[in-house]
Structure 1
């Protein structure tokens, strides 16, 4: 129902607005192109709407300021990396204290012990290892699963995202075969050699994939997030866990994004019993870190199979993993920021944000749908909630999405560059949410005028 000629005219208006209000960012971008491909530190930053990404001067709490002095309400929050709010006071204090006591020494600290205890209480798994990112946590978990099972295949969900793990960049073609995902750069081997892909919420497909008897692990989010929020149907997750045990596969849950539902993520909320669990991003308040937990049985199997004299050459870990600075940040962030009190507030705000989006969608008769995942909300350009990653992907509209993101950015709101997702932090306020609702409603009204 969107008039594309009208959309193109609106987009030109926003493009001019953006250039007029971000001249210093434009000048820095021109310089950046001389030393960085695409003028950005990482290639995916080119996906931000507008002629170039904003250059940030400062960020605090739920807001940030660009180099031109424009201020923004941040609903992206580093795509979960700053879910705690930018530079939470407790985390900053812990970091400052640790700066005078050493950053990294390849040795454990008391903080690491405290973090392990906290994670055990949250997620129920007794044994933990630390990494530099959630990607590493997933990669290391997969290696360990192959070690303890003696099997090679990894099952992932169609349209999933688990960082830059090679095995996860696979999808299903029209015939249902596992192939490399669109945009997958330089895959080391054919993805069908390492991976078997199934659709979310499809238990029959999951069992068929496991029945080959060659699956080391199932790696999955308990709710899909990076293609658009896709929620599990009742009983689905519990059934996947039972199938994993039936066929001797390790069940790995990735809670990196789904921790938005509460301190223990969906694992605690639904009383799930994974064999392993991975998480990163928000748990250190924005510092790069990750961790993975496991049952004692898996930890014992690993210990029995890894020889001490070659433990450092097995493809697990890095010299910065579990460093003192990240351990100090994790300890305080988990205890004082990602706690029950803050989650209660964040989830209420996530509901308020989604209610505002739903109200505008209904008022203007738009065939869109807004899904909720605790402190996270996200709308797709389809009339009902998706059941699978493909349905979520089919609910995308890149042209429309780019306009909405740029329009809201010019109005002072930042969403994630990859989809229409908003996340609440402990510092987000009702006023922040209501300001977005007002701007979103006005945008919808203008969008359907033609």
Structure 2
């Protein structure tokens, strides 16, 4: 690839973004009282010199404050997988907050049992508790795992994503040993004191790490997502389950992103049998919500422990967790929006997206690939697609990603800023998918020259 040409195109698209978005640029410049000029510093992860500011959003469409409409394939990096403000969720939130009141009263609602039963139907785990984020669900699952096993360490896959959980910020270093993930902020201790790490799709490395006998749980995504989609090889997940059982280690599936695989995520689609499962983002239809599930056997073991304070100061709480508003949103999302039928349709749209991208890649002779996980599709700058998180990290190309993100955004298509991910929602259409294919194909033609 001609890098000089790429840099010229990137500069052109960046200048066009500034020309098109004067109100967003001015709003960013005025944000003197925000740390990093944004509500959360990760909002600075954007192509160009400033983020676009949200005006309105509905279904699969976003409009920024400069009046530009976008087909939204980012969907809040999975948080809006139900689409923006789906009607059933909006009605449930309005009813709970404005009509019934008591959005947060430290009292349970009957909706909670309905949501728990539905999560059991989808994922198989029999007992559920709620949080506000998947990060907290993971933190609390880790505490429970340590309590019930008496072991201190957590094993994760290199470059997996579990929010800002301290124990997960570990990667396989150049020497094959665990090392702190680059850029980790304010780590409370050397991450190797709390964690072990193995490459995804590497059972021998996993077995070597579990053999130390100090791992309480393997916390993993059934497919890596936030470093680019890395799919499990045949037999890998079954091997993980066999090794964890052999070594007395609990298995926690984080389905926050892999929920895209179907109504019960990868756990249902691939008949997995975790001891715990964590999920967040999408299940609230845009309202902050998370959950963690436990097997019946594990729940009984924990509830039978009189030495564990699971009621007050046990570290598995949060005053707003399980609040009536979040639970109402979860029920509406699962009952009426992210249904079995919706997932079937979203999966077919993702197949169409995948085929269009692959056709464009082949037409221009690029050594790239496309990976899909249900309703989620991603194109990678490598062929074949990487099989481990470290390999996936190594083929990242920030300059190329920025060009594609800006080119698409300047023409009304929004992708996830962290990577080249596209997600379908119930409101996405075939015309939306085809619009991306057309613009993406032109972008590649200009890139190749």
Category of TM-score, reference length = shorter chain? over 0.9
Distance in 2, Cα, partners of 1:292 & 1:186: 26
Name the residue aligned to 1:318.
Answer: 318
Counterpart Cα distance in 2 of 1:18 and 1:83 = 26
**Offset, 1:37:** 2.2
- Displacement of 1:311 in angstroms is 2.9
TM-score normalised by length of structure 1: 0.98
Q: Equivalent residues in 2 for 1:116-135 (5 A)?
A: 116-135=116-135
Map of 2:77 onto structure 1: 79
Query: In 1, Cα distance between the equivalents of 2:107 and 2:77?
Result: 31
**In the alignment, which residue of structure 1 is the partner of 2:3?**
4
| Deviation at residue 425 of structure 1 after TM alignment | 0.4
Q: Which residue of 2 aligns with 1:237?
A: 237
Pairs aligned (count): 447
Match of 2:17 in 1: 18
Once residues 328 and 381 of structure 2 are traced to their aligned partners in structure 1, the CA distance between those partners, rounded to angstroms, is: 42
- Map Cα deviations across residues 172-218 of structure 1 (whole Å, 9 max, x no partner): 11111111101101100101100000000111111111111111000
Q: In the alignment, what sits opposite 1:48? A: 46
Alignment map for 1:186-197 (pairs within 5 Å): 186-197=186-197
**TM-superposed deviation, 1:118:** 0.1
Q: Deviations over 1:231-255 (max 9, x none)?
A: 0111111121111111111100001
Cα distance in 2 for partners of 1:382, 1:421 equals 15
Q: Shift of the alpha carbon at 1:307? A: 4.9
Alignment of 1:332-347 (within 5 A): 332-347=332-347
Per-residue Cα deviation, 1:150-188 (whole angstroms, up to 9, x for no partner) = 001111000111001000000111111111101101100
Aligned with residue 96 of structure 1, among 94, 97, 112: 94
Structure 1: how far apart are the matches of 2:310 and 2:6? Answer: 60
For residues 370 and 284 of structure 2, what CA distance do their matches in structure 1 show?
Answer: 29
Do 2:375 and 2:424's aligned partners in 1 also have CA atoms closer than 8 Å? yes
Q: Structure 1, residues 10-49: CA drift from partner, whole Å, max 9, x if none?
A: 11211111111101111111111x1112211111111111
For 2:268, the equivalent position in structure 1 comes to 268
Identify the range of structure 1 (152-161 vs 238-247) with the bigger mean alpha-carbon deviation: 238-247
2: CA distance between counterparts of 1:9 and 1:177?
40
Q: Separation in 2 of the partners of 1:39 and 1:202?
A: 41
Q: Distance in 1 between matches of 2:321 and 2:106?
A: 8
**SS at structure 1 position matched to 2:311:** helix
Comparing 294-303 with 242-251, greater Cα deviation is found at 294-303
1:160-175 counterparts in 2 under 5 A? 160-175=160-175
Deviation at 1:72, TM superposition (A): 0.3
Give the CA deviation at 1:310. 7.1
Map residues 415-430 of structure 1 onto 2, 5 A cutoff: 415-430=415-430
Instruction: Point out 4+ residue stretches in structure 1 off by more than 6 angstroms.
Output: none
SS of the residue corresponding to residue 305 of structure 1 reads coil
Distance 2:308 2:401 in 1: 52
Equivalent residue number for residue 398 of structure 1 = 398
Q: Please tell me whether the aligned partners of residues 381 and 395 of structure 2 are also in contact (alpha carbons under 8 angstroms).
A: yes
* Per-residue deviation, 1:308: 7.7
Task: Give the Cα–Cα distance (whole angstroms) in 2 for the partners of residues 245 and 358 of structure 1.
Answer: 39
